[in-house]
Structure 1
Amino acid sequence: MTVSREIDDILQRGADGGRITPEEALLLYTDAPLHPLGEAADVVRRRRYPDGIVTYIIDRNINYTNVCVTACKFCAFYRAPKHREGWTHPTEEILRRCAEAVDLGATQVMLQGGHHPDYGVEYYEELFSSVKQAYPQLVIHSIGPSEILHMAKVSGVSLEEAITRIKAAGLDSIAGAGAEMLPERPRKAIAPLKESGERWCEVMALAHKLGVESTATMMMGTGETNAERIEHLRMIRDVQDQADAGGYGGFRSFIPWTYQPENNHLKGRTQATNLEYLRLIAVSRLFFATIPHLQASWLTTGKEVGQLALHMGVDDLGSIMLEENVISSAGARHRSNLHQLIEMIRSAGFVPAQRDTLYRHLRVHWTPADDPTDDRVVSHFSSIALPGGGVGGRRLPLVEAN
């Protein structure tokens, strides 16, 4: 069998919903012609979502502290303990930001921060319960396996107890944070103090078993090989296989994004191209047969690439993030407002719809007459870089849509 015939057979099997192996996924990623690869992924998306709807969500990323002991080389956000630029927001400031988010139509908050040396399970219990008590309508889709491991260590409790307690306090869903690159070699190169990729997967599998679903992510472009990128996908699929076998929820979506090179120790020595990103998007849609959703990261790749991804298997454009500090601190400068995001979807030939965390449609914009009219719904780049924003409880200015 020729390589071309082999690729055609794999693409057809993947488009039909069949399972492809990691070795086959690597072959597709490196050798499959771009247009047939994208077409096969698009077939999967159209079969799953024949109504042609592409979703988005309104949420806010709220960082409670930038103090962190992990010191990841790609991170421009963290500050070491006792650093003069370290900060922690009081609960009152976090609740104020939640109130702004609710006023702008947000349905979800992502509470994330550094691995503060003093923050154990008790801190997160108080944080989540305070948000839930004040704003029960907000879904708390927050933290990740790294934070869970850290809080359990600080408090001296088991992972199961930590997850059970923060779930009871109000955590609804776990973000895919901290995945970066899961294979051992690249992970040690960029985050030597962080838990192993295998440990990250173990925490996710346990959370799923305990009834807390999540998303999965991948940061590409820090020097990993093509084979390591596919190995990352394999590790995530193995966790999803456990959830499928157990009959409980696992990963709702997969969200790959590209490393941003500013203000961090890696300094852009390696980066993923837009073509590499789009090829990975398409392969991911074929590889993850039972992870229902695939999200494009327009924040890191730009709106044009995000729109292209809609024709390569993507069914979700993610968030109008009313606040985002971590990736923006590393150089992500792409911004949008709600009208632009809806137009990105519609002009690509799809029907825009606002969703919630569970991907249920809240508002479907079948025609422009159905579009929202609130011009205040605008994404920020790093709020801590805006005058008066982010530190010491000062008010975060909501920028105008224009």
Structure 2
Amino acid sequence: MDVLDRAARGERLEREELVELYRRPLAEVAAVAHALRLERAHPDHVTYLIDRNINYSNVCTVGCGYCAFYRTRRQPDAYTLSYEEVGRKVAELEAVGGKRILMQGGVNPDLPLEWYEGLLRYLKERHPDVRIDAFSPEEILGLERLTGMPAREVLSRLKAAGLDGVPGAGAEILVDRIRHAAAPARIPTADWVRIVEEVLALGMYSLASMVIGMGEGPEERVEHLLVLRELQDRALAQYGNGFSGFALWTMQLENTRLAGRLPGATAHEYLQTLAVARIALDNIAGHQASWPTMGFKVAQTALYYGANDFGSTMLEENVVSAASGNVRRSATVREIVRQIVEAGFRPAERNVFYEIVAEPDVDALLASPVG
């Protein structure tokens, strides 16, 4: 049976079959991906999340060549936010109806584990209804090395202090030959998988992520997807808990040391990989379209290439936007709802588990002059 026919029947495709999808006409792969999206997620709805990104510090010792956000501790524009400054940002989110923050920084050797615990307690005491997803696997690895504690103990202490989940950031392409050519000190694949598995074992949430444009080819992209799929299989079987969704971005290189040295990725490659991911990741239902890196129009198109979600408002984005002036830092609910409606779907607000929590009054929202 042809590989596309097998995919359309919902059969699990293996490595060579997934690589073969990259050789097929994109329209044919997209048609299968969209059909699977309609089966695996809310068929009429496209969801979105009201949240805020908070970058508590830009000090980092990893020094990735594709990152324009980080600073060394001695640079004049290095910063670490106070608890009060972070708290004000959370209050601003609550004022617009948001109940989730995505909080990340760098690997900052000046911040002990107790600082992170204190921040979490400070926020939970003042904003008990806000979900805190924070500290990437790279940051957890940094705390592991700083404290000498295993990741399980670090994460257990952070969870006790108020941590709800850990972002799936830092995955990029989970093939060490590719990731270490661009960032030699970046967290190795095995450590990323190990730490995320500890997160899931403790009953917390994480997001499966992928960044293309690092010089990888179809084989490496498929390898990355298989690492995610196998981890999800294992986590669901052993812990009853896994990735809540999948997000794909393209590498933004404009303002980085690697501008002109890494190829980046085109809109065609983005849509192609998004469609392949929908077929490959049969155990993850929620797939995001990336309006920050691709723009609204490509994100709308992505809703017919396997995506069923329009991402989040973010309110503030600093890391990706530092690497490229073409990246939007935030979007209003009205803007997101308009894009979803224009693409032919019904918008619905969701939580981090891709469960619909509300449907907006579209007519009133789009008629409003602001918001």
Common fold, TM-score beyond 0.5?
yes
Is 313-322 or 222-231 further displaced after alignment?
222-231
TM-score (ref. length: structure 2): 0.95
Which of residues 220, 224, 230 in structure 2 aligns to 1:228? 220
Hey, what's the Cα distance between the residues in 1 that align with 2:81 and 2:364? Answer: 40
Partner of 2:327: 333
Paired AA for residue 127 in structure 1: L
CA contact (8 A) 2:247 2:288 kept: yes
Partner of 2:37: 45
CA contact (8 A) 1:351 1:366 kept: no
The superposition leaves residues 39-70 of structure 1 with CA deviations (integer Å, 9 ceiling, x where unpaired) of 10111111123541110111111111100000
Compared with structure 1, are the counterparts of its residues 264 and 235 closer, same or farther at alpha carbon in structure 2 (3 Å cutoff)? Answer: same
**Runs of at least 5 residues in structure 1 that lack an aligned partner in the other structure:** 1-5, 377-402
Hey, what's the Cα distance between the residues in 2 that align with 1:260 and 1:140? Answer: 26
Hey, what's the Cα distance between the residues in 2 that align with 1:372 and 1:142? Answer: 36
Is 310-319 or 205-214 further displaced after alignment?
205-214
Hey, what's the Cα distance between the residues in 1 that align with 2:144 and 2:137? Answer: 11
Structure 1 runs (4+) deviating above 6 angstroms are: none
Paired AA for residue 220 in structure 1: I
**SS state at 2:129 partner:** coil
CA contact (8 A) 2:33 2:305 kept: yes
Matched, 1:71 2:63: yes
Hey, what's the Cα distance between the residues in 1 that align with 2:208 and 2:104? Answer: 15
Aligned residues: 368
Partner of 1:288: 281
The superposition leaves residues 325-373 of structure 1 with CA deviations (integer Å, 9 ceiling, x where unpaired) of 0001011433533222111111111110111112222221375247695
Partner of 1:85: 77
Is 182-191 or 66-75 further displaced after alignment?
182-191
Paired AA for residue 99 in structure 2: T
Compared with structure 1, are the counterparts of its residues 28 and 162 closer, same or farther at alpha carbon in structure 2 (3 Å cutoff)? Answer: same
CA contact (8 A) 1:120 1:152 kept: no
Which of residues 341, 345, 349 in structure 2 aligns to 1:346? 341
Which of residues 318, 321, 341 in structure 1 aligns to 2:314? 321
Deviation at 1:22, TM superposition (A): 1.7
Compared with structure 1, are the counterparts of its residues 113 and 140 closer, same or farther at alpha carbon in structure 2 (3 Å cutoff)? Answer: same
**SS state at 2:313 partner:** strand
**SS state at 2:51 partner:** strand
Hey, what's the Cα distance between the residues in 1 that align with 2:10 and 2:302? Answer: 19
Hey, what's the Cα distance between the residues in 2 that align with 1:184 and 1:110? Answer: 26
Query: Pairwise CA RMSD of aligned residues?
Result: 1.7
Which of residues 162, 170, 184 in structure 2 aligns to 1:178? 170
Deviation at 1:11, TM superposition (A): 1.9
Deviation at 1:227, TM superposition (A): 1.1
Hey, what's the Cα distance between the residues in 2 that align with 1:179 and 1:223? Answer: 15
Structure 1 segment 15-34 matched on structure 2, within 5 A:
15-29=8-22, 31-34=23-26
**Runs of at least 5 residues in structure 2 that lack an aligned partner in the other structure:** none
Matched, 1:197 2:189: yes
Hey, what's the Cα distance between the residues in 2 that align with 1:238 and 1:50? Answer: 24
**SS state at 1:251 partner:** coil
Deviation at 1:218, TM superposition (A): 1.1
Hey, what's the Cα distance between the residues in 1 that align with 2:38 and 2:249? Answer: 23
The superposition leaves residues 162-201 of structure 1 with CA deviations (integer Å, 9 ceiling, x where unpaired) of 1111111111111111111210111111121122112101
Partner of 1:10: 3
